[in-house]
C-alpha cells in the first residue's frame, strides 16, 4: 500500500512540474510567434499610456509611474518620457483599441497643421 501511495505521489509530482518546452508550445497554441515575442513586448512597453496601465494592470496607477515611454510628440527635444503619460482617451469608446485608434485619428493632422 505504501509503495502504491509513493508511486502515486511520484507520478503526480512529475505531471505537476512544467516541461522545458511548455512555454513555446503554449505560446504556439495561442497563436503567438515566440521568435518575435521579445520585440513585440519591448515595442508595446515603450508605447504604453497611463490609461493602458490603469486598464490592464493597476487601476490606481499614479501619474508618476516610472515607466519610460517614447514621446509621441516628434517635435519635442525630449525623446523619452520618464513616465507613461495620461493621453486623454475618449471614454465613449468601449475598447482600449478603439480609444487608441481615435487618439491617432484625432492627432494625425496636428503636426502637418491641417
The predicted model scores a pTM of 0.61
For 25-75, the pLDDT digits (tens) are 888 888 888 888 888 777 777 788 999 899 989 999 999 999 999 888 878
Which cell numbers in the block locate residue 30?
A: 495561442
The helix (run of H) or strand (run of E) holding residue 51 is: helix 50-56
C-alpha to C-alpha distances, 11 to 20, 43, 97, nearest whole angstrom = 17, 42, 45
> In the chain, what are the helix, strand and coil shares in percent, each to the nearest 5?
45, 5, 50
Residue 80 β-bridge partners: 70
Least Cα distance to 87 among 111, 54, 41 occurs for: 54
Assign 20 a pLDDT band (cuts: 50, 70, 90): low
More confident residue, 20 or 107: 107
For 72-82, the pLDDT digits (tens) are 887 889 999 99
Residues 70, 47: contact at Cβ < 8 Å? yes
Give the C-alpha separation, 111 to 74, whole Å.
Answer: 8
Count the Cβ atoms, other than its own, within 10 Å of residue 46.
14
Which cell numbers in the block locate residue 33?
A: 510567434
What pLDDT score was predicted for residue 85?
A: 93
pLDDT at residue 7 above 60?
no
What pLDDT score was predicted for residue 5?
A: 52
Amino acid at each position: 500500500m505504501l509503495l502504491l501511495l509513493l508511486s502515486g505521489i511520484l507520478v503526480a509530482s512529475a505531471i505537476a512540474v512544467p516541461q522545458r518546452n511548455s512555454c513555446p508550445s503554449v505560446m504556439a497554441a495561442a497563436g503567438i510567434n515566440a521568435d518575435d515575442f521579445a520585440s513585440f513586448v519591448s515595442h508595446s512597453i515603450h508605447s504604453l499610456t497611463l490609461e493602458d496601465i490603469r486598464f490592464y494592470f493597476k487601476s490606481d496607477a499614479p501619474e508618476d509611474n516610472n515607466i519610460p515611454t517614447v514621446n509621441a510628440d516628434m517635435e519635442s527635444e525630449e525623446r523619452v518620457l520618464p513616465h507613461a503619460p495620461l493621453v486623454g482617451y475618449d471614454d465613449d469608446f468601449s475598447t482600449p483599441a478603439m480609444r487608441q485608434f481615435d487618439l491617432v485619428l484625432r492627432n494625425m493632422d496636428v503636426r502637418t497643421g491641417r
